Structure 1
Amino acid sequence: MDDEDLSLLDITQPDSPLDHLEDLDAETDVPGPDPEAMLALLELPDPGQRMQAARAFCELVDERAVEPLIRLLADPCPLVRVSAAYALGRNPSPKAVAPLIAQLEQDWNGYVRKGVVWALGNSLAREALSPLVNALQTDITAVRLWAASSLAQVGVACSDLSNAAIRALASALNQDPATVVGGNCAWAIGQICRELPAGPTYTFGVDALIQALEDVRDLGVRDDARTALLKLGDSRGLQVIEELEGEGLL
């Protein structure tokens, strides 16, 4: 499935991963779903009921749902699979990491892979690094976008993986053809660097952002790199921004 086949998939709102589910966090007078009833629905033969239950666990947090949700990752219905992936992102568990990775590697549906990548980021699992890097390098635009965000989460949670995460993000920052992906890579590098002490990995991240400012032609990506550097408050980055602004290049 290519980008054109996923033309309805909103890739412009990286702050809203549940973009094809209802706003489950909106205030309402209607009582929330009953966990016991939803647990039962997860096992029913009707795919509409399974999807309804999986979507309910995008709101509910209940450890009992993890095992049935893992099974639903292999459901024949892609709407059930994507709902199960997002639900596992809301209910992260070490038990779900390997099944999520396996589904990412084999699922033909881009919506599902996007949900899986989001869930892997929320898992904060070190095992997620390699499949997320691969998704950032090879998948469709919408999945690459979320792979960048998820790499930021893993890179922050597992400090010993921050170098590998930043290097993958830096490569995509300067090479990815999609503005939204490059911009999200700049954001992700900034997020990881904010949690790092001064050192080689931090310096490499700042260098990547500065290089994007100086070399990347896309104005949107350059603006995101500029924003990341401003939020970092790095003196070297601020000096480069000041110089480029003085020259009318920003």
Structure 2
Amino acid sequence: MDELIEAEPYALEVVDSPPDIEQLLSDLISGDVTRRMLAARAFSEIQDERSVPALIDLLADDCPLVRVSAAYALGRNPCPAAVEPLIATLLQDWNGYVRKGLVWALGNCQDARAFDSLVDALVTDIPAVQLWAASALGQLGDPRAVAPLATALKADPVAVVRSNCAWALGKLGDKEAGVPALLSALDDDDLSVQQDVREALNTLGYHYETDAADPFEIA
């Protein structure tokens, strides 16, 4: 199970012949749980809008492996109709791996309706979900995300979450609000976070000069 759920996103084995899309679409509604899971997993690599209705239905599947596969597949096949079901599942699914896939999918959908749920995931969920919630907020491009991302960058105890917050602040491109938060994180205890903060500042037009009196100068 760990090998399956840790893939970001799931990768299919390389095969010589192209996948049978019609068979995969049929397998999405199969009574066999393994067929449903493998078909949903296939659509994490294949884009076909015909898969979306069945994938939405699979978000309610009894098997968490099916649900997480469907979440990643919907992230690969983003659709406005999937946003509300993804949000609803995020709010109620007990499985952290499923929620991780859901926030990844919502980030790919880039739909403002997901904002509140993603902020809640950033603040309250487990680290594996928080880090993808941070990235998803960066992908949304909503300036309201700067404040919760800045707070998490400063206070979250998990380095990889702070790193993703830094990336997201750079992605949002809000110099006025984002730069002060990033500058305050330059002395983070974790070197990888410091590096991600520098890269985010570079993205925003601030270039690091090691010998300068003010090490960050705007481009």
So what's the TM-score if we normalise by structure 2?
0.89
CA contact (8 A) 2:104 2:132 kept: yes
Deviations 1:129-181 (A, max 9, x none): 111111000100110010111111101xxxxx22x111111111001100000
Alpha carbons of structure 1 residues 59 and 220: separation in structure 2 relative to 1, 3 Å = closer
Q: Distance in 2 between matches of 1:49 and 1:151?
A: 33
Quote the offset at 1:17 in angstroms: 2.2
Confirm or deny that 1:187 pairs with 2:159: no
Alpha carbons of structure 1 residues 184 and 136: separation in structure 2 relative to 1, 3 Å = same
Aligned pairs (5 A) from 1:18-33: 18=9, 21=10, 23-24=11-12, 28-33=14-19
Per the alignment, residue 99 of structure 1 pairs with: 85
Deviations 1:23-77 (A, max 9, x none): 23x7x45223211101111111110000011011112211111111000000000
Question: Which amino acid in the other structure matches residue 59 of structure 1?
Answer: E
Per the alignment, residue 232 of structure 1 pairs with: 204
Q: Distance in 2 between matches of 1:118 and 1:36?
A: 26
Q: Distance in 2 between matches of 1:240 and 1:131?
A: 40
- Picking from 21, 24, 34, the partner of 2:20 is 34
CA contact (8 A) 2:135 2:164 kept: yes
Question: Which amino acid in the other structure matches residue 186 of structure 2?
Answer: L
Question: Which amino acid in the other structure matches residue 206 of structure 2?
Answer: D
Alpha carbons of structure 1 residues 83 and 145: separation in structure 2 relative to 1, 3 Å = same
Alpha carbons of structure 1 residues 94 and 241: separation in structure 2 relative to 1, 3 Å = farther
Quote the offset at 1:229 in angstroms: 1.3
Per the alignment, residue 193 of structure 2 pairs with: 221
Per the alignment, residue 152 of structure 1 pairs with: 138
So what's the TM-score if we normalise by structure 1?
0.79
Per the alignment, residue 8 of structure 2 pairs with: 17
Aligned pairs (5 A) from 1:114-133: 114-133=100-119
Question: Which amino acid in the other structure matches residue 85 of structure 1?
Answer: A
Quote the offset at 1:233 in angstroms: 2.6
What's the C-alpha RMSD, in Å, of the aligned pairs? 2.2
Confirm or deny that 1:140 pairs with 2:126: yes
- Picking from 179, 202, 212, the partner of 1:206 is 179
Alpha carbons of structure 1 residues 243 and 139: separation in structure 2 relative to 1, 3 Å = farther
Alpha carbons of structure 1 residues 241 and 90: separation in structure 2 relative to 1, 3 Å = farther
Q: How many residues align?
A: 213
Alpha carbons of structure 1 residues 178 and 219: separation in structure 2 relative to 1, 3 Å = same
